[in-house]
Amino acid sequence: MKKILFLITICIGGMALMANSVDDSTGVILRNNQVYILHKVDAGQGLFAVGRRYKIHWTAIRDANPGSETSLYPGKILYVPTGKTESQFWGKKKPIYSKDNSTYNKPKEKVKPEKEKKSIADETSNSPKTSFTVFYTVKKGETLFSIAEKFNTTVEFLKQLNNLKTEKVKEGTDILVPFAEETKEKVTEKTESKPKETITEKTEEETKKDNENESNSNKNNDKESKENAEKDKDEILIEKKEETKKVEKEIEDISKKIEEEKNNEKKENDKSNDTEDIENIIKEADKNKEKETKKDEVPSEESVNIPWKYKIEVESFPEYDIEKVSEKGQGKVMDDKTIDQTKDWVIHHNAPENTIILITNPINNKTVYAKVVKNFNRKDDNQVIVYITKNTADFLELSKKDKFNIKLSFAK
């Protein structure tokens, strides 16, 4: 069944990628007497989609842009080879090249700087420090399900952590994932910066000519774009049908194999009644052993029904320049009317404001992330370490209690 789900996931991911839109080129440059088109990558685009846009094989784009196969993000400029010399590409027209390798200077058109895209985590606070979490960039073909498996968590937890309403995530999106020692090598960060955009000035006569050429070119491009869009739709439908047939064939083969294995297993079971009896005896012995073990169990000193005293542990992670702080103690529902009780906000005794804290109810092990909006002075004999909003208490099922045991974790 895992193999079936894996094949279906790949098929659906591939189809979604083929349907993404493609930006127009941003300019033209000349390298080694060969003309290259400058293309700005759109959100969700891969080398395959860019190759389809310019009707060349994606490997040609990869070879012209070393490292692009593993480092591709929205706004990145790619060199798209045309396979033509200057005279072959421009013909009798006057060549117009970009001033540098990142922008195409269109006449009388101010280039508006692209607004910085906010990650999902930015919506929860003003660049808060995260606890037990790091940013992870969604790769091609990945889903919330596969990411949850990779980081040993659940889809629902990732949706709650990133305020997601659906289970859909786009390639290139930065999301928060739980931090653990074994996940260090799985997290990658972008190191390439987006190219800057520039504007150049032209004479009035050149601008007029360029505008006329651009107007004619835009009309031709619009017509060609419509034709290409229709062709792309047909090709995508054909590819979807082919992929669907392949998946159906794989599912059919796997189903047959499973059925054969079941039949063989049934035959083996009919011949091995003695083996089955032995297994039943072993299972019964295990059950008795489990019952005896439960009788001998001694309640923990740190029982959830006994009020906890304040306890703190600090663990350092030099490679990330952070410290993991774990606290145990008591909490209360706040009565501060100046704070919005519909938010997941807390008043903590010493964590900096805007810090994100992981709160755990030790009775039912429910967890929630909340933001520190205020601090209070805690005396040594006071075991209360945090005040939470009514919304947070309702989620953790702590609303009806005056004081309750609580676990806190955060990074600083």
Q: Name the pLDDT band for 104 (thresholds 50, 70, 90).
A: very low
DSSP 68: T
In the chain, where the domains are located: 120-182, 311-411
Which tokens hold the place of 240? 């979807």
Helix (H) or strand (E) holding 162: none
Exposed, middle or buried: residue 298 (CB in 10 Å: 0-12, 13-18, 19+)?
Answer: exposed
Residue pair 31/100 in contact (Cβ under 8 Å)? The answer is no
Q: Is 138 helix (H, G, I), strand (E, B) or coil?
A: coil
Residue pair 383/311 in contact (Cβ under 8 Å)? The answer is no
Query: 375: which strand partners?
Result: 348
Share of the chain above pLDDT 90, in %: 25
Q: In what order do the strands lie in the sheet with 77-81?
A: 25-31, 34-40, 77-81
More confident residue, 45 or 207: 45
* For residues 46-61, average pLDDT: 89
Highest mean pLDDT: which range of 107-121, 161-175, 335-349: 335-349
Superfamily of domain 311-411, CATH level 4:
RlpA-like domain (2.40.40.10)
Examine domains 120-182 and 311-411 and report if their fold is the same.
no
Residue with tokens 């501060």: 336
pLDDT at 385: 93
The letter for the amino acid at 198 is: T
| Domain boundaries 120-182, CATH class | alpha beta
pLDDT in tens, 6-44: 444 433 333 333 333 333 467 888 888 899 998 888 888
pLDDT in tens, 65-89: 998 888 788 888 889 999 999 888 8
pLDDT at 389: 93
Which tokens hold the place of 24? 């127009």
The CA-atom distances, in angstroms, between 394 and each of 175, 361, 383, 399 are 26, 11, 22, 5
pLDDT at 291: 67
For the beta carbon of residue 285, count every other beta carbon within 10 angstroms: 10
pLDDT in tens, 281-315: 667 767 776 666 555 444 444 566 788 999 999 99
